[in-house]
Amino acid sequence: MEEDKIKQMVKDRYSQITIKEETNCSCCSDDNNLYEKAKKAGYSTEELKSIPESAIYGLGCGNPTALAGLKEGNVVLDLGSGGGIDVFLAANKVGKSGKVIGVDMTPEMVETGIENAKKGGYENVEFHLGEIENLPLEANEVDVIISNCVINLTPDKFKAYEEAYRVLKEEGHLLVSDLVTDGYLPEDIKRNFQAWSSCISGALEKEEYLKIIKKAGFRDVEIIKQHYFTEPEMDERLIGKIFSIQLKAVK
For the stretch 160-200, pLDDT in tens is 999 999 999 999 999 999 999 998 888 877 776 566 555 67
User: Cα 245–124–144 angle (5° rounding)?
Assistant: 35
Q: How many domains does the chain have?
A: 1
Please name the amino acid found at residue 182. D
Backbone angles phi, psi at 236, to 5 degrees: -60, -20
Using DSSP, state whether 41 is helix, strand or coil.
Answer: helix
User: The pTM is what?
Assistant: 0.88
User: What is residue 32's predicted lDDT score, i.e. its pLDDT?
Assistant: 46
The confidence band for 23, taking pLDDT boundaries of 50, 70 and 90, is very low
Please name the amino acid found at residue 72. E
192 vs 234: CA distance, rounded Å? 14
Q: What's 123's domain CATH number? A: 3.40.50.150
113 vs 55: CA distance, rounded Å? 7
Q: What is the pLDDT of residues 119-167, one digit of tens each?
A: 999 999 999 999 999 999 999 999 999 999 999 989 899 999 999 999 9
* Helices 85-94 + 107-120 axis angle, to 10: 40
- State the residue range of the domain holding 150: 3-250
What lies within 8 Å, CB to CB, of 90 at 6+ separation is 65, 68, 70, 76, 78, 100, 146
Identify whether the C-beta of residue 34 lies closer than 8 Å to the C-beta of residue 177: no
Instruction: Give the max Cα distance, the chain.
Output: 49
